[in-house]
Structure 1
Amino acid sequence: MKKVLFVINTLGGAGAEKALLELLKRFSPEQYQTDLYVLLEQGELISQVPEYVNILNRDYTAESVLTREGKKKLNKKVFRRLFTRGALFKNIPYLIKNISVMLKQKKIHADKLLWRVMSDSGMSLDKEYDMAIAYLEGGSTYFVHDHVKAKQKFTFLHVDYSYAGYSRKLDKNCYLDFDRVFTVSGEVKESFEKIYPECADRTFIFHNLIDRKEIIRKAELPGGFEDTYNGKRILTVGRLTVQKAYETAIDAMKLLKDQGVNVRWYVLGEGELKEQLQQKIDSLGLTGDFILLGAEENPYPYYKQCDLYVHATRFEGKSISVQEAQVLGCAILVSDCSGNREQVNDGIDGSLCQLSAEDISRNIKELLEDDEKCMQYRKNASRRISDNQEDEMKLFCCSRNDRNGAERNTKVRYI
């Protein structure tokens, strides 16, 4: 029986975390002894981890990392970890060097800088594994590389590598030592290989796994919109972060209301920008029109009940929210950026728009006035997601010494 370790930064209610839960379900307890380590020991999805997975964390907080209270607790954990095992002092030269580079680029990525410190302050693992998998960039990747004993090591990329603020100096070239690198989309793969061309022969696309039947089942459960509004409804699902560009969506909503379009925009998600976004909403007189609903344990009835799903973001790896919208047959509008353009065929199963308030509002207005086009988008979107995802399970099979031939053709034995 193979011993497997998964490491992830947090286990909050975001796309990568949900995809990990689906992947863990593929690891049969009859074949694998599976351990999970959550680097920052926090996140509400911990209760959804399969019961046969051994959670290594001893001091875990089962609270969102995105709510105001949850963020406070997470920040306290991070502060304590700065001084655990001398992690901060050990990394002072590394921090100075990379801060200097970021200052020259006029953009400081504080979270990226701290991942190395968080990795070095993680728990000590004496166990040796057959396979160790870092499921996110940054901390979990550094931890598996530096602090885990394993015969084979693999890592996942869920975002456009360079756009998200990573670099080889931040990584200390650690990706060169992984046996496999899995990216969630072709564009993420392309972006990564521009920075690490040496890894091209061991980098593969592995799409996020979703449970189509479970999503459809949950969409039929009670829930969804509770107001008595009888106009058109727009839905967006995602964390309230800079990446998601909600300030542009709010401006687009303002343009729609000024044009007299009978529509409301609802957002499911939590994040550090919640108060800032609410202030902008209120200042533009959109309090009852652009509504931040917070996180929902079962968001799927909302998808089913909305007239249009909009995902206008700055960049993506591969959005779980868009996949879920496709499963439930939503008419979809996404911004033309990495990740999004790979998920939606413009004019076939959705529309692409520029990330500007003017173009977003124009496309929304056109779609809401064209029932025939929206109906066609819904039909084509629901056909796009397949039940059979076994061909994605190209994992954990070939050793470092077996990278030629079959592996390069991705003809790999399933786990």
Structure 2
Amino acid sequence: MKQKLLFVIDSLDCAGAEKSLVTLLSLLDYQKYQVDLLLFGYGGVLETLLPKEVNLLPPLPYTQFSKKTLSKQLFQLNNQNLNMLRARMKYSLKLRLNKLTNPQKARVFWESASSVIEYNLKMYDIAISYAQGVPTFYVAEKVKAKKKFAWVNVSYRLYGKEKGFQKQYYDSYNKIVAVSDTTREIFLETFPEYQSKMNVIYDINDPRIISEMSVLHYNENIEFEGLKLLTIGRLASQKGYKIALETCRMLKEAGVHFRWYVLGKGPEEDEIKKYIHENDLANHFILLGTRVNPYPIIKNSDIYVQTSKYEGFGLAIAEARMLNIPVVTTRFDAVYNQMTHEKNGLVVDMSSSAVFNGILRLIQDQDLKMEIIEYLKAEPKGNLSELDKFHELIG
């Protein structure tokens, strides 16, 4: 009899955890597993890459309702919809009145909406929240399963109210999986009592698929004879775009002939566009949105740049490394889980001047750049052995 598995994640937009999940699902043996997948946001670009065997569950009524305009919500009011409207307004009001961190947003959402989010009545062998926050709360409270596993794919610390709120949900999990050793260590700073519960399974990447997708034809107007920089990441504060923009301005002022392409969408898009306009960077810092297949763009870049404040692992860096692209990255907590300074790239301080100097160094020292490329070519590619850890985890 097949094991019944449920995966829950926020969405399948083009980001690290999402790509990792799609890769994992593409590698499962569907002779052994029956897989359901629930999202809190539908329509992400990676949904098209899901294996046909995965049963994508319909949206929760609350998530469908909350996407409607206020006028439609009022027109369709009944007792259930009235409760959902109250939940949405309560959440929206708190967002407008307070500047919240991601853990705070997740807590406020769940405090506002959990009472109108129905239970999943199916009994699963294993239920997996593949991201922290709302998926973790949902699987803990609304799902029936013989075993429950929680993935932690960002490195962040919780204090006070956030720590207390999240602990009540993590208590219900059989195992907690971190995507790097550093992420595990940071999580245990908040919750040392979970040490015996914790496993480490790195984000899984398949070098064969990435290599094949990198040579597919793509319609991108990024043919450029100068230096091509690339950053991939959600347009959010975690990714350090202020550092990237200031670095871009410094490169322009230094007379470097370059374009800096960015793949991603997110809440800081308007702020980033404003900075681009005010500093006359429209021909230098170019937002491309998201792509189902970013690999031809990575392959045709000269330097991959990551300006993150924190990451659980840094999957985009791993993908650039697999395509032999030199990396300049800030020194976020988990960076040394895959980076070796001056071997497969440069690890620099978390400042625009440090990133600027790192990029400039690779421009000016072509011998160093070629040494890094040769090192990257010789590096082991991918980490499919992590799939064995997943199989061992789920039994």
Q: Counterpart of 1:3 in 2: which secondary structure?
A: strand
Q: Which residue of 1 aligns with 2:390?
A: 395
Q: Which residue of 1 aligns with 2:6?
A: 5
- The residue identity in structure 2 corresponding to 1:245 is G
Change (3 A) 1:382 1:117: farther
- Once the two structures are superposed, residues 106-133 of structure 1 have per-residue CA deviations (whole angstroms, 9 ceiling, x without a partner) of 9993344214544544343211111111
**Paired residues, number:** 382
Q: Counterpart of 1:261 in 2: which secondary structure?
A: coil
Structure 1 length as normaliser, TM-score? 0.82
Matched, 1:242 2:237: yes
The 8 Å contact of residues 157 and 184 in structure 1, kept in 2 or not, is answered as yes
Change (3 A) 1:227 1:54: closer
- Aligned-pair CA distance for 1:390: 2.7
- Once the two structures are superposed, residues 177-205 of structure 1 have per-residue CA deviations (whole angstroms, 9 ceiling, x without a partner) of 21111001111100111111111112011
Q: Which residue of 2 aligns with 1:21?
A: 22
Moved more, 361-370 or 110-119: 110-119
In structure 1, what is the Cα distance between the partners aligned to 2:290 and 2:48?
A: 16
- Once the two structures are superposed, residues 305-355 of structure 1 have per-residue CA deviations (whole angstroms, 9 ceiling, x without a partner) of 111110011111112211110110000010001222322111111111112
Residue 179 of structure 1 is aligned with which of 174, 181, 206? 174
Q: Which residue of 2 aligns with 1:35?
A: 36
- Once the two structures are superposed, residues 138-165 of structure 1 have per-residue CA deviations (whole angstroms, 9 ceiling, x without a partner) of 1111111111111111010010131799
Structure 2 length as normaliser, TM-score? 0.86
Q: Which residue of 1 aligns with 2:54?
A: 53
Change (3 A) 1:200 1:219: same
The 8 Å contact of residues 206 and 393 in structure 1, kept in 2 or not, is answered as no
- Aligned-pair CA distance for 1:270: 1.5
The 8 Å contact of residues 137 and 156 in structure 1, kept in 2 or not, is answered as yes
The 8 Å contact of residues 5 and 36 in structure 1, kept in 2 or not, is answered as yes
- Once the two structures are superposed, residues 182-237 of structure 1 have per-residue CA deviations (whole angstroms, 9 ceiling, x without a partner) of 00111110011111111111201110111211111111112375245311111111
Output aligned runs, 1:369-380, within 5 Å.
369-380=364-375
In structure 2, what is the Cα distance between the partners aligned to 1:391 and 1:371?
A: 35
The 8 Å contact of residues 27 and 34 in structure 1, kept in 2 or not, is answered as no
In structure 1, what is the Cα distance between the partners aligned to 2:334 and 2:363?
A: 24
Q: Counterpart of 2:27 in 1: which secondary structure?
A: coil
The 8 Å contact of residues 188 and 194 in structure 2, kept in 1 or not, is answered as yes
The 8 Å contact of residues 159 and 190 in structure 2, kept in 1 or not, is answered as no
Q: Counterpart of 2:195 in 1: which secondary structure?
A: helix
Q: Counterpart of 1:376 in 2: which secondary structure?
A: helix
In structure 2, what is the Cα distance between the partners aligned to 1:364 and 1:288?
A: 18
Q: Which residue of 2 aligns with 1:170?
A: 165
The 8 Å contact of residues 204 and 386 in structure 2, kept in 1 or not, is answered as no
The 8 Å contact of residues 106 and 134 in structure 2, kept in 1 or not, is answered as no
In structure 1, what is the Cα distance between the partners aligned to 2:389 and 2:50?
A: 22
Greater helix proportion: 2
Give the fraction of aligned pairs with identical amino acids, expressed as a percent: 28
Output aligned runs, 1:180-199, within 5 Å.
180-199=175-194
- The residue identity in structure 1 corresponding to 2:184 is K
Residue 302 of structure 1 is aligned with which of 277, 293, 297? 297
The 8 Å contact of residues 326 and 385 in structure 1, kept in 2 or not, is answered as no
Output aligned runs, 1:198-209, within 5 Å.
198-209=193-204
Residue 288 of structure 2 is aligned with which of 285, 288, 293? 293
Moved more, 108-117 or 350-359: 108-117
Q: Which residue of 2 aligns with 1:215?
A: 210
- Once the two structures are superposed, residues 355-404 of structure 1 have per-residue CA deviations (whole angstroms, 9 ceiling, x without a partner) of 211111111111111122112222323444434523443236xxxxxxxx
Matched, 1:261 2:256: yes
Which structure 1 segments of 5+ residues have no match? 66-71, 397-411
- The residue identity in structure 1 corresponding to 2:343 is I
Residue 326 of structure 1 is aligned with which of 309, 321, 327? 321
Q: Counterpart of 1:278 in 2: which secondary structure?
A: helix
The 8 Å contact of residues 151 and 177 in structure 2, kept in 1 or not, is answered as yes
- The residue identity in structure 2 corresponding to 1:232 is L
- Aligned-pair CA distance for 1:84: 6.1
Q: Which residue of 2 aligns with 1:346?
A: 341
Change (3 A) 1:110 1:202: closer
In structure 2, what is the Cα distance between the partners aligned to 1:221 and 1:40?
A: 28
Moved more, 10-19 or 111-120: 111-120
Change (3 A) 1:147 1:87: farther
Q: Counterpart of 1:260 in 2: which secondary structure?
A: coil
In structure 1, what is the Cα distance between the partners aligned to 2:289 and 2:250?
A: 24
The 8 Å contact of residues 132 and 153 in structure 1, kept in 2 or not, is answered as yes
Change (3 A) 1:46 1:223: closer
- Aligned-pair CA distance for 1:74: 8.5
Tell me how large the CA RMSD over aligned residues is: 3.4
In structure 2, what is the Cα distance between the partners aligned to 1:107 and 1:35?
A: 26
Q: Which residue of 2 aligns with 1:409?
A: none
Residue 308 of structure 2 is aligned with which of 298, 313, 322? 313
Q: Counterpart of 1:37 in 2: which secondary structure?
A: strand
In structure 1, what is the Cα distance between the partners aligned to 2:294 and 2:160?
A: 30
Output aligned runs, 1:63-78, within 5 Å.
73=67
- The residue identity in structure 2 corresponding to 1:354 is D
The 8 Å contact of residues 37 and 57 in structure 1, kept in 2 or not, is answered as yes
The 8 Å contact of residues 87 and 116 in structure 2, kept in 1 or not, is answered as no
The 8 Å contact of residues 323 and 385 in structure 1, kept in 2 or not, is answered as no
- Aligned-pair CA distance for 1:55: 1.6
- Aligned-pair CA distance for 1:88: 8.9
In structure 1, what is the Cα distance between the partners aligned to 2:102 and 2:313?
A: 25
Q: Counterpart of 1:394 in 2: which secondary structure?
A: helix
In structure 2, what is the Cα distance between the partners aligned to 1:228 and 1:58?
A: 40
Q: Which residue of 1 aligns with 2:221?
A: 226
